[in-house]
Amino acid sequence: SVMPALLAAISTGARNGILLKGGVFLERLSEADAIAFDKTGTITCGKPEVTAAFVEKKDDNQQIFSVVAAIERQSNHPLANALVRYISNVEGITMAEVESIEDVTGYGVTAKVAGVRWAIGSNALMRQLRCETPVASSWLVQEQKWRAAGNTVVFVAKEKKIVAGFAIKDQVRADVRQTLAELRALGIQTVMITGDHEETAASIAGEAGIDEWISESLPEEKVLEVDKLKEKYQSVVMVGDGVNDAPALAKADIGIAMGSGTDVAIDTADVVLMKSELDKIRLALSLSKRMNRIVK
């Protein structure tokens, strides 16, 4: 009968750190034919590290690092944390005083320090603000190579001139490749949605073994992408961790949050992976299949 099978499945899930907010989600999971994943913090560990730093004029190094650290200290974006951690290990850095700061969600930050305007963020932010690329710069030719290796490239502009850049790498979670291969074997389409640059997204998707990816998606666009997937697939699962993943988690047929995620994501989701292990999705699917077999 239904109840014992459902209770057994829910308790097996719980023992494995899968928190189900209702039996109906367990029932529906096995119908999934597409699973969309957020990149940062979901496919990757969410602990990016600076792998390379480039400054146009060596003499400006201290000043630029001081300003970047002072600005990014006020942001809680994972990339901001990586920059602050990296710069705090550099000798002779004094904290600059930030006059004003503005978040450009999905792009980066702009700020004013000692009357000077600074911008830190993506290529798209630099384009949007019409920042000049340094001429004959030796480091910019490497930009593509960094991205091809899965780095996110963050630029620093001072008064609309690009003066520095950082390559930042977030590792793909250990269990991802295996899990995605198993999902594919079940005939499920896997999709990654990210705000990051196309080349970085392609590299990470390749490392993780993801079928399809959507890059340079603004935080408020993630939910639209889930909508598009729902037109193409019968049942769409969304997996995410961030504040800006919450609308997409709600929109999907089933929303799954990482336990390491933000409270908003966890509250919005139907299922929570307490230990943030993606291979538990595979277990949840088989619990769902087994239960539906007994019930039907």
Cα atoms in the 13 Å half-sphere on the side-chain side of 102: 8
Would you give the binding string for Mg ion spanning residues 34-63, x where CB under 5 A is met?
A: ----x-xx----------------------
Q: Binding of ligand ADP at residue 210 (CB under 6 A)?
A: no
- The entry of Mg ion, ligand ADP, none that residue 109 binds, CB within 5 to 8 Å by partner kind: ligand ADP
Q: Binding of Mg ion at residue 122 (CB under 5 A)?
A: no
- Out of 20, 77, 119, 280, name the contact with ligand ADP by CB under 6 A: 77
> Within 104-123, which residues bind ligand ADP (CB under 6 A)?
106-109, 120-122
- The entry of ligand ADP, Mg ion, none that residue 194 binds, CB within 5 to 8 Å by partner kind: ligand ADP
End-to-end CA separation in angstroms for the chain: 9
- The entry of ligand ADP, Mg ion, none that residue 154 binds, CB within 5 to 8 Å by partner kind: ligand ADP
Q: Which of 38, 170, 253, 270 is labelled catalytic?
A: 38
Give the separation between CA 102 and CA 116, rounded to whole angstroms: 14
Give the separation between CA 259 and CA 180, rounded to whole angstroms: 19
Please report which residue ranges of the chain form alpha helices under DSSP H: 2-15, 23-29, 61-72, 78-88, 123-128, 143-148, 176-185, 198-208, 222-232, 246-251, 263-268, 279-295
Q: Report how far Cα 54 is from the mean position of its chain's Cα atoms.
A: 24
Q: How many residues make up the chain in this entry?
A: 296
Residues that bind Mg ion (CB under 5 A): 38, 40-41, 241-242
Residues that bind ligand ADP (CB under 6 A): 39-40, 72, 75, 77, 79-80, 106-109, 120-122, 152, 154, 194-196, 219
